[in-house]
Structure 1
Amino acid sequence: MENNVNNAPAAGKNGKLIWILLFVAALLVAGYFIWRHQSVNGEYQALKAEKEQMRQEMEKEINDLMYEHQQIKTEYGQLSDSLFIKDSLIQANAKEIKQLLNYKWEYRKVKRKLDQLRVVARNYVHQMDSLYTVNHELVEENKEIKVKYNAEKAKNTDLKQATAVLQEKIDNNSVLTAYGAVAKAYHLKNNGKERLTTKARRTDIIEVCFTLSKNALLKPGAKDVYVRIARPDRQILTPGIAQEYVFDYQGEKIQYSILETIQYDNEAVNVCLRWQKKHDKIDMLKGNYMITVFSDGKEIGHTNITLR
């Protein structure tokens, strides 16, 4: 009995000790979990910061890559339009990478796509360089062709000018000329004989003589030669009714006094043509009679005669 009473205080002390030990153990466990939580949270924050830094670095890298790409497009100007499809692919990939970086991104996936974009961008630059080289060669070749073309054009222009000058000389020299023209007036007697006269009232015949020039440039053959004799009052002496005796000259119909077809063989030929008064109604006025010779639509000679 006495032993049981003496053991009770000892048991109470042991119980308290156990509770104290349990409390200390609990504190230690709690402290460990608190430390562990702080440690894990610190690692998480470190990883998060590292991940954010990696994201920012990748974002900067993609921005730098697109900036360089835009600079290349600007440098090459319109030439870059020929690689429009390749440029669209680069723009689409860059947009996709930026979207991945802004929404639950995965490092490996983004890294892989970024590497692929670098390859595409390098190919773009390589193709652009090749296009530039080809274009530069074409430009130089085009310049050379233009120089040759302009040189040939200048030669052709010079040749045309020389030809035009030569043709003008030929045209100027391809004209039949009536030189040494002389006019005489005759009185026709009743017995049919003719007598030279200088009097207007006694003139029945006006004879015009001249020489057609030698000219090897002319086409040989029949030549129509017209002679116009104008009285002092400018009226033309015609063989008959005036309206019937006309020819074309510089786009107009003009009267003639004599028409004769001459066979021309490029050698000089002497010609004498005559106008004869048909009836007394034709007045022969006193004064100067202007005489002009025409052929091939051109004036080829002239002379005059004065009747008193």
Structure 2
Amino acid sequence: MQTEKNNNKNQRPIYIALGVAAVLLVVIAALYITQSVEMKEVVEEMTIEKNILTEEYQDLAMGYDSLESTSDTLNTMLEKERQKVEHLIEEIKTIKATNASKIREYRKELGTLRGVLKSYVAQIDSLNRLNEELKKENKEYQQRYSQIQNSYKELEDVKTELEDKVEIASRLETTNMSADGLNARGRSTSRTNRIDKIEICFTVKKNLTAPVGIKPFYIRLERPDGQILLRSREDLFEYEGTEINYSAMREIEYGGEETDICIFYDADMGELMPGEYTTDIFADGGNIGRFTFELK
């Protein structure tokens, strides 16, 4: 009996130690389970944070994709920023969710990149406004230019019309046109076999708008058979851009007042024929008179 009492007394500390150990194991297990749950929650939260951060970077990339500028330099800078954001997105995907320091670094970088994006948006908005203003100014300039062109054309038309009127008004006109055959004694005759000269007389009307000064007056005498009476093939003058022959000419000083002029053509023997003759009078590059006369 005494022995059993001694054994029980010796085993009591063991039971106590085992009990304490069991309690410790329970506490440790509880703590482990609690820490495991908390760690799992932390990992899940950090994974969520990583995914959110990734989405925010992707949104930032889309923000850069939506930007477009008319400036080649600005577009080049935007492309560099796009590539930088894409590179960071790939880096974020490769890091562990539990790498809190890296997550913080990328979060801080995100704030910086958002500021850069905001500055680019402001630059592009400013540039777009400037472009709109320039387009508006250019449109107004084009309208003013068109108005000026129209006004200039109208002035040119008026000028041309006035010049035409002045040209018409400055053309010389003739009246009292007549022809007379003269024999060798200077007496009038209409018989072709007795005519030594043909006298062409006319009156140039008053015209104060016509050029004044020494003017050559030309006559062309056309026989009934259509041949032009000539003294020389080299007797030429310009008419409507072409040089043509004249029968006779005379230079007269014209001052704008009514002026009487007579021009003589020396006829060769046998050159004239009976019939109707046509006379054209020229001055200042224009035909200023025409009439016909008869010779027998």
TM-score, normalised by the number of residues in structure 1: 0.82
* Cα separation, 1, equivalents of 2:245 and 2:132: 72
> Are 2:37 and 1:46 aligned?
no
What secondary structure does 2:249 align onto? strand
1:189-248 deviations in Å (ceiling 9; x for gaps): xxx252322x33333321111112222223221111111101111111122xx3232222
The answer for unaligned runs of 5 or more in structure 2 is none
Q: Alignment partner of 2:195: what SS?
A: coil
Per the alignment, do residues 183 and 86 of structure 1 end up closer, same or farther by CA in structure 2, a change over 3 Å counting? same
| Structure 1 equivalent of residue 207 of structure 2 | 215
Q: Is the 8 A contact 1:228 1:293 kept in 2?
A: yes
Structure 1: give runs of 5+ residues left out of the alignment: 1-5
CA distance in 1, matches of 2:217, 2:146: 49
Match of 1:3 in 2: none
1:254 alignment partner in structure 2: 244
Distance 1:226 1:201 in 2: 25
Counterpart-to-counterpart distance in 2, 1:193 and 1:160: 55
**Contact preservation (8 Å) 2:180, 2:188:** no
Q: Which residue of 2 aligns with 1:289?
A: 277
Given that 2:60 and 2:85 are in contact with CA atoms closer than 8 Å, whether structure 1 keeps it comes out as no
**Structure 1 residues 8-157: aligned runs within 5 Å:** 8-10=3-5, 12-13=7-8, 24-71=19-66, 73=67, 78-79=69-70, 81=72, 83-84=74-75, 86-88=77-79, 90-104=81-95, 106-157=102-153
Question: Which residue number corresponds to residue 290 of structure 2?
Answer: 302
**How much identity, in percent, do the aligned residues show?**
25
1:86-120, Cα deviation, whole Å (9 max, x unpaired): 52454244234313421325232111111111211
CA RMSD of aligned residues (A): 2.6
Task: Work out the CA distance in 1 between the residues paired with 2:243 and 2:140.
Answer: 57
Contact 1:97–1:114 (CA under 8 A) maintained in structure 2:
no
Mean Cα displacement is larger for which, 42-51 or 213-222?
213-222
Counting matched residue pairs gives: 291
Paired residue for 2:176?
A: 180
Match status 1:159 vs 2:155: yes
Amino acid at match of 1:101: I
User: What CA distance in whole angstroms lies between the structure 1 residues aligned with 2:170 and 2:186?
Assistant: 41
Q: Secondary structure at the match of 2:139?
A: helix
Structure 1 residues 114, 83: CA separation in 2 closer, same or farther (over 3 Å shift)? same
Superimposed CA distance per residue, residues 245-289 of structure 1 (whole angstroms, 9 cap, x where no aligned partner): 2222233332211111111112221001111223x2x33222211
Residue identity matched to 2:141: I
